Amino acid sequence: MEKSRHKQQLAVILLLGLWFPCCLTQTTPPTRANLAPTPSGTPKAQTAQLKVRLAGYPRKHNEGRIELFYKGEWGTICDDDFSISNANVLCRQLGFVSATGWTHSSKYGNGQGKIWLDNVICNGGEKSIEFCKSRGWGNSDCTHDEDAGVVCKDERIPGFVDSNIIDAQVDEKKVEEVRLRPVVATAKKLPITEGVVEVKHKDGWAQICDLGWTIKNTRVVCGMLGFPHEKKVNKNFYKLYLERQKNSYLIQSVACTGTEVHLAACQLEFNKPNATSSCAGGMPAVVSCMPGPLFVQNRSLKKKVKTSSNVRLKGGARLGEGRVEVLKGSEWGTVCDDRWNLQSASVVCRELGFGSAKEALTGARMGQGIGPIYMNEVKCFGNEKSIWNCPFKNITSEDCQHMEDAAVRCNIPYMGLENSIRITGGRTRYEGRVEVLSSDSNGTESWGLICGETWTTKEAMVACRQLGLGYANQGLQETWYWDSSNVTGMVMSGVKCIGNEMALSQCQHHKTVSCQKAAAKFAAGVICSETASDLVLNASLVQQTVYVEDRPLHMLYCAAEEDCLSKSAAKANWPYGHRRLLRFSSQIHNIGRADFKPKAGRHSWVWHACHGHYHSMDIFTHYDLLNANGSKVAEGHKASFCLEDTDCHEGVSKRYECANFGDQGITVGCWDLYRHDIDCQWLDITDVKPGNYIMQVVINPNYEVAESDFTNNAMKCNCKYDGHRIWLHNCHLGDAFSEEAERRFEKYPGQINNRIS
């Protein structure tokens, strides 16, 4: 497709300012002076009165919620006026050389008890936080939703010893992991939803004493294990059995409020090291959880557990992660990340049938949305049924941009799916021939290859997801170029996936293996990737720029040579007469997390002499006009493109250009613009009768290049043609509308056709 040499750039002024992440600025390395040695010359541990520790979840030894021990009580610091200087003071108090960042809005969960300090302003050189300006001890108008945290540089001040930090590290290990041990021997089926709660410590697994155990504790445990809901459990059923066991109680009591995302965030009372069997009158805590519909095999149960239909996750590489999108009216939109935290993220996770949130991600870490932004400053308590029930602020356009889209990573139940698939022969751990575990009629399990014949990107997407390796970069039908010293036989063929399955075993496949080329070199392979591009078309630009042009044939020789006209053009009386063209501009954005690059290397690009440039992809888009039947009335010509960065968001630099055999592609944060007046940027509607139609543009229609999301690759519009002029309306991306709105949209040509006839 032609891109005129002097492509005038459409002045698209984006309202996208630079977004400065408040909390990740790297500070200058500490100088001798700001290390603030005590007069004796060696750094001293914390002052006797004031102790500082890191708490919360998910924390590491060098990051977490700040807690201060003052007047015999642990309390927190409010994030108001917090700064990197404050963090520097605190990190040095904790024995680290400096801070690399700080966090707000209780990123590590809400603390308890006092909020000791508020509006703290340090210069950065103070020896202790108590020497900084503040409102004074215990004087604060904040809630624990605003607890501050720090991220310290992982480098200790030489010679610094602090018992608190060491304590905290031990504590952390104590409740790092939680599991359910099923008691009934037959309950081996995954996921395990009921059993004795066990926590991991440095020497193994231990139980929790159930004295004072509440259903709220159960809720927290279930959430950690990937289950949205908790159930009552029949204790008597377990009592006899468990009393005969030797139990070791690491935790004496647990008091959760139910909204915590991790047991470590609840109030815990640990046993003294040598008092591990004291739980007089109690027994090990046993819980039962209710899985979300994705993880329920039982059909009648599946119907009972409903998930939300006005919240979804987009753009994630793995199950249970993605950008949060919410449905308002009939259109999907995103959530701004101001004050986005684990409590709110957990409400989203649970309403989608997962457990609590593992991470609340800010700054469009799962890619940017492109539609409206509906919510800001979402502040869930944690027990809401839906994010829509949480307090939030409406958005005004200046408030937020898509670079601030909120995302989540949810806890999901352990299904063991990754144990029945592996890849071999590749050069890295992200590529190889796919092998699946299958059992013969005797129940003997063995690994085997998959026939490459029906293998495409869709099947590879499922394989990469099951392997836990992210997106499919490529699905390969031949793998002869990889090491084949230890190949196995073929055990699967005819695999056909929809693309959203959790495992290959859920896809269609032949009952008995039937593969024409059964040699290992024709076995299916994958190249997986943690990131992928995501292309979307600017729908409103299409709608705004559409028009009809009658173009004389003598100006269309080049276009005809590139197959940009419909078949009837061949019968025209060249060079006399004209073709009727529906013209519009396309602006294709890469909103994903990796550059979009053509699959073919430059050695196989095709030189188009007529237009004077190389085409790197045979089929990059389909342009079609559909009638009520969904059949094409204007021959969708298969446009090939030369790909480049026409322009980028502020702060992103262009990398790809077509001219001079340059590298082709679209950078993340950039777009490729095909102006309405470029050759071939049209639909030939010479043979189309007046009426109502649906116009459709599909990018990357054959899944030739990996994308994180293919559901937004189609753009559709209602199209009205009166024989002279054309109008487009309701232009939208394939995944932008609610199902109901989409059904109404699809009816459009039919309804009007009836009225006309």
Ligand X SMILES: *[C@@H]1O[C@H](CO)[C@@H](O)[C@H](O)[C@H]1NC(C)=O
Binding region for ligand X (CB under 6 A)? 12, 14, 273-274, 298, 300-301, 370, 393-394, 440-442, 444, 483, 485-486, 538, 540-541, 544, 627-629, 631, 753
**Residue 490 to residue 452: CA distance in whole angstroms:** 10
Minimum CB separation of residue 48 from ligand X in Å reads 25
Report yes or no: 492 and 515 within 8 Å, Cβ to Cβ: no
CB nearer ligand X, residue 738 or residue 753: 753
User: How do 373-376 and 331-335 pair as beta strands?
Assistant: parallel
Minimum CB separation of residue 667 from ligand X in Å reads 15
Minimum CB separation of residue 653 from ligand X in Å reads 17
Q: Which two tokens mark 402? A: 């898509």
Beta-strand ranges (E) seen in 485-605 are: 490-492, 525-529, 535-537, 547-552, 578-583, 586-590
DSSP states of 331-357 = EEEEEB-TT--HHHHHHHHHHTT--SE
**Residue 84 to residue 20: CA distance in whole angstroms:** 14
Minimum CB separation of residue 88 from ligand X in Å reads 37
CB nearer ligand X, residue 178 or residue 626: 626
CB nearer ligand X, residue 124 or residue 333: 333
Minimum CB separation of residue 299 from ligand X in Å reads 7
CB nearer ligand X, residue 12 or residue 498: 12
CB nearer ligand X, residue 263 or residue 423: 423
CB nearer ligand X, residue 370 or residue 408: 370
For residue 683, what are the CA distances in angstroms to 341, 562, 680? 47, 14, 8
Minimum CB separation of residue 11 from ligand X in Å reads 9
735 alpha-carbon distance from chain centroid = 16
CB nearer ligand X, residue 376 or residue 454: 376
Which phi and psi (to 5°) does residue 298 adopt?
Answer: -65, 115
CB nearer ligand X, residue 335 or residue 349: 335
Q: Which two tokens mark 498? A: 């929809």
For residue 552, what are the CA distances in angstroms to 561, 570, 572, 579, 737? 15, 14, 11, 7, 39
CB nearer ligand X, residue 8 or residue 442: 442
Helix-strand-coil split of the chain, %, nearest 5? 20, 30, 50
Strand partners, 151: 63, 101
For residue 83, what are the CA distances in angstroms to 27, 76, 79, 121, 696? 11, 15, 9, 7, 50
Minimum CB separation of residue 483 from ligand X in Å reads 5
The owner of tokens 């992200």 is 430
Max alpha carbon distance in the chain (Å)?
100
Sequence-ordered list of residues with C-beta below 8 angstroms from that of 335, at least 6 positions apart, any chain:
324, 325, 326, 373, 374, 375, 376, 378, 387, 405, 406
Minimum CB separation of residue 14 from ligand X in Å reads 6
User: Which of 60, 72, 73 has the alpha carbon at shortest distance from 108?
Assistant: 60
Residue type, 727: W
Minimum CB separation of residue 637 from ligand X in Å reads 20
CB nearer ligand X, residue 327 or residue 556: 327
CB nearer ligand X, residue 371 or residue 665: 371
Report yes or no: 415 and 427 within 8 Å, Cβ to Cβ: no
Residue type, 123: N
Q: Which two tokens mark 55? A: 């708490």
For residue 679, what are the CA distances in angstroms to 117, 158, 661, 728? 66, 68, 20, 21
CB nearer ligand X, residue 445 or residue 483: 483
CB nearer ligand X, residue 438 or residue 753: 753
Q: Which two tokens mark 631? A: 């059949």
Report yes or no: 164 and 68 within 8 Å, Cβ to Cβ: no
User: Which of 382, 191, 419 has the alpha carbon at shortest distance from 294?
Assistant: 191
For the beta carbon of residue 511, count every other beta carbon within 10 angstroms.
7
Minimum CB separation of residue 275 from ligand X in Å reads 9
Minimum CB separation of residue 97 from ligand X in Å reads 34
Minimum CB separation of residue 370 from ligand X in Å reads 6
Q: At what angle do helices 342-351 and 215-224 cross, to 10 degrees?
A: 80
Q: At what angle do helices 739-746 and 748-756 cross, to 10 degrees?
A: 30
Q: In 3-state terms, what secondary structure has residue 144?
A: helix
CB nearer ligand X, residue 204 or residue 273: 273
Minimum CB separation of residue 304 from ligand X in Å reads 8
CB nearer ligand X, residue 397 or residue 629: 629
Minimum CB separation of residue 754 from ligand X in Å reads 9
Minimum CB separation of residue 425 from ligand X in Å reads 8
Residue 465 burial by CB count (10 A; 0-12/13-18/19+): exposed, middle or buried?
buried
